[in-house]
Amino acid sequence: MMTTIGVLLFVVGLAFSIWFHELGHFFWARRFRMRVTQFMVGFGPTLWSKRIGETEHGVKVIPLGGYIRIVGMMPPGEDDLAGRRVGRIRQLVEEVRGASLLDVRPDDGDRVFYRKPWWQRVVVMSAGPAHNLVLAFILFTIILVGFGIPTPTRTVEAVSECVLPATAAVEATCATPVNATGALCETGPDCALPVAAPAREAGFRDGDEILAVDGRAVDDWSAVQAVIRGSPNEELSVTVRRGGEEQTLRVTPLPNQVRTSADPEDTEVVTVGFLGLSPVQVYVPQPVTSVPGQVGAFIVVAAEKLIGIPERIPQLVRAAFLGEQRDINGPIGIVGVGRISGETFGLPAEQAPLQEKFIFFLGLLASLNMVLFLFNLVPLYPLDGGHVAGALWEKARSVLARVRRKPDPGPFDTARLMPVAYVVASVFIVLSGLLLVADIVNPITLDQLQ
């Protein structure tokens, strides 16, 4: 039941994000007196629609996007093409142009898109992605300021049973023999059960509050961790508070190999001290002034991921059709994200409280809106960024013509970019289909992300 709720919540969040994106275009188009005939969420057959004023508002079957139809998105072409032989591409361009101009009425006057000043067109086409950025900013603010970020405390939440190296196999447990590299084994000189965690042997218990290490008071978990990691094979005295009383435990951290970063592709490891303690984490609300910096850092990471998609396509193909393990840093489709949302809400309460599930869901929705913001700003037609680039180019060549004392070349002919639009749309459709197959036959699961 909770899994279904998680999936439905994501679908609703996705639909709202699309609607809010299109609302940005719609609001400013109406603000500049452009005539808008349709405001649709989704593609394909219409599920529901209602005419409000001069605009038809509705919902369509496929929730993978949306659109508003502004009259006159493409300017008229040449008037002297009758009887002339034109190529197939030019014929296609003129057919699309003609279909676009069919919506223009004699009384529209300057309400058509192409007759508006270049800056108004930039505002209208930028408003959709800007709305996604605003929504992402709001969601991140709710997470950071309203709930906070997980912060480890000095209190022990769990004590490990054994020591497994960072290079250990996924299937390795405290009850499975492994060799020095962490690989599962049955025989061999270095094949044995993992050694017991020093903290377990020293008598640490869940709920212990660490007060000092080697006589030095510690204020937070990072201070505790710094001493432990820097003291392999060195005996330490650790003062803890247990049941209202202070006790001193003596323990020697074992040398253990850990990765130098959280990036799964970074295989570099270093040797540090290990006890086998996990801290209790609490959510600490952040000041609102920290939100812009956090959002800015996320934009940089998201942009890098978006730019890196093409080089990850071959691995995605192998994962979808050849059974290769899915790259958790690779692209994931709407179905995959919905699945993760469902898995999150399906976790038992003792493993993930409802608050943590809700925070994770808000993070998914914020990430989705950030991707929509960045993706739609790519300067390729028919994306919003392509329209913006066309309007800016129109202004640039107008200024250049004025400097050269030549006539203004007029509106930029976006119809000539239709071949590019078809290529971009085809790539998007193929990638969406590939992600759909991969998300079904070889999905990224919540366990892989943790």
- Find all residues with CB under 8 Å of 237, minimum gap 6, and list them: 213, 214, 215, 248, 249, 250
Q: Are 179 and 185 in contact (CB under 8 A)?
A: yes
> Residue type at 395?
K
Is residue 333 left, alpha or beta, with left meaning phi > 0 and alpha meaning psi from -120 to 50? beta
Contact of 241 with 288, CB cutoff 8 Å = no
Q: Which two tokens stand for residue 7?
A: 């999936």
Question: Which of these, 32, 20, 21, lies nearest to 384 by C-alpha position?
Answer: 21
Question: Please, what is the angle between helix 418-441 and helix 88-101, to 10°?
Answer: 90
Q: DSSP string covering 183-199, please? A: -B-SSSTT-BPPPBPHH
What is the three-class DSSP state of 326? Answer: coil
Q: What SS3 class is residue 81?
A: coil
Q: Are 160 and 228 in contact (CB under 8 A)?
A: no
SS3 207: coil
The closest alpha carbon to 438, from 311, 321, 310, 314, belongs to 321
Helix 334-346 with 418-441: angle, nearest 10 deg: 30
Beta-bridged to residue 39, according to DSSP, are: 57, 68
Residues 6+ apart with CB under 8 A from 45: 60, 61
Strand partners, 210: 240
For residues 62 and 43, the answer to whether their CB atoms sit within 8 Å is yes
Structural tokens at position 381: 């037609």
Active site residue 171: no
Among 22, 201, 265, 311, which one carries the catalytic annotation? 22
Closest CA to 22 of 68, 80, 71: 68
Calpha distance 239→5 (Å, rounded) = 45
Round to whole Å and give the CA distance between 184 and 192: 9
Q: Can you tell me the distance from the alpha carbon of 220 to that of 213, in angstroms, rounded to the nearest whole number?
A: 12
Catalogue the active-site residues.
22
